[in-house]
Amino acid sequence: MSKVSIIMPIYNVADQLEKAIQCALNQTYRDIEIILVNDGSTDESGNICDHYQQKDARITVIHQKNAGSGLARNAGLDRAVGKYIYFADPDDYFEEKLIEENIKKAEEWNADMVVFGYIYEIIDNDGKETKTEYIPKLNGFLTKKDFQKHFREHYALSPYALWNKLYKHDFLVQHNCRFTNQKVGQDALFNQLVAYELDQVFYHPKTYYHYVFREGSAVNRYRKDRFSYEYNIAMQFEKWMQHWNKETKYRDLIHKEYWDALYLELSNLAWKDCPLTSREKAKRIKEVMSDAKIYQAVMELDIEAESNLFVKLLIKLLRNGKLGSALKLMHARVMIGKNFQHAFRWMKNKFS
């Protein structure tokens, strides 16, 4: 079979890095290259990369100034020689047969992309683990026509994640699928580009990757440009559906993308380090709601189909122009999530 390039962007993850590298080295499929891109780490990550490069000739290390994970992955793509590309994160881990069993499907079906399942692991502050398995709703080989027809099922399982997909390298080059320098959501933009002209995809209903969330490790902070990042993702999604001539069929998904941009901006304004005053926050949400795409999404969301009472109330407040109340509700939700993580973990998962 063909060589696979495993690309791993690395920034200040010394505590988890060795486990991730070892997962790559332990793959039962041996014809691999492992490209570690040290994106300006200030901890021991760079030294760990160099150490492993000396131990195994399949490892290549790239050291660069901090530019973000997207551009770090581009650096890996520029160096990669494999027929297939796999992106792994350095703070997670994966099964030893991930490459072997998924490249077999890719080669057998000449797939441009293989999608497989994963396990979402939460490690609380006491070290207790909670695991949830996520498997693709689709199964087997799909042509472009079938992929577009059953896109809703694809969208239901982390469509923007990189680590549960194996990509054909030539396809990425042919369609100029690259990462942008956008600080947040570059993985979403990349996967949108991939799926834009996707011809052949295989769904493998088996879990291989372990996505790890460690309580207390995530840093939620205010980002001035957060809304523009998310709005950019929503706009590209809408153009994608228009390109397929599926904007009517998947109109609700388009609305969801714009809603997500608004929701995340409300959350962004609720973080403790947000420097804006209450008046400035209300003005900001008023500006966002004046956007025609955002307003239409809020007004046309199927509120009756929404099972979460918090989201229902939030939508009702926004529809009625009670922007200050919507901000207060989001602030309360953020505080509840911070102070009562165990009791409200389900809420955090719902909106992650």
Mean pLDDT of the chain: 93
Query: In order of start, what are the domains of the chain with their CATH numbers?
Result: 4-214 (3.90.550.10), 226-351 (no CATH)
Q: pLDDT per residue over 104-140, tens digit each?
A: 999 999 999 999 999 999 988 788 889 999 999 999 9
8 A C-beta contact, residue 173 and residue 9:
no
pLDDT at 313 over 90: yes
CA distance 75 to 255: 34
Give me the mean pLDDT over the 290-312 stretch: 93
Give me the mean pLDDT over the 150-159 stretch: 96
8 A C-beta contact, residue 257 and residue 233:
yes
CA distance 297 to 288: 12
Q: What is the pLDDT of residue 333?
A: 86
Q: pLDDT per residue over 323-341, tens digit each?
A: 999 999 999 888 776 544 4
Q: pLDDT per residue over 63-93, tens digit each?
A: 999 999 999 999 999 999 999 999 999 999 9
Percentage of the chain modeled with pLDDT above 90: 86
Give me the mean pLDDT over the 284-309 stretch: 94
CA distance 343 to 200: 43
Half-sphere exposure in the Cβ direction for 218 (13 Å, CA): 14
pLDDT at 25 over 80: yes
Q: pLDDT per residue over 267-276, tens digit each?
A: 999 998 999 9
Q: Is 94 helix (H, G, I), strand (E, B) or coil?
A: strand
Q: What is the pLDDT of residue 125?
A: 79
DSSP readout, 226-267?
HHHHHHHHHHHHHHHHHHHT-TTTTHHHHHHHHHHHHHHHHH
Q: What is the pLDDT of residue 352?
A: 40
pLDDT at 348 over 90: no
Hey, what's the torsion of the CAs at 299, 302, 308, 313, to 10 degrees?
30
Give me the mean pLDDT over the 5-11 stretch: 98
Q: What is the pLDDT of residue 1?
A: 67
Q: pLDDT per residue over 167-194, tens digit each?
A: 999 999 999 999 999 989 999 999 999 9
pLDDT category, 214, cuts 50, 70, 90? confident
Q: Which of 36-40, 46-50, 200-204, 339-343 has the lowest mean pLDDT?
A: 339-343
CA distance 250 to 285: 26
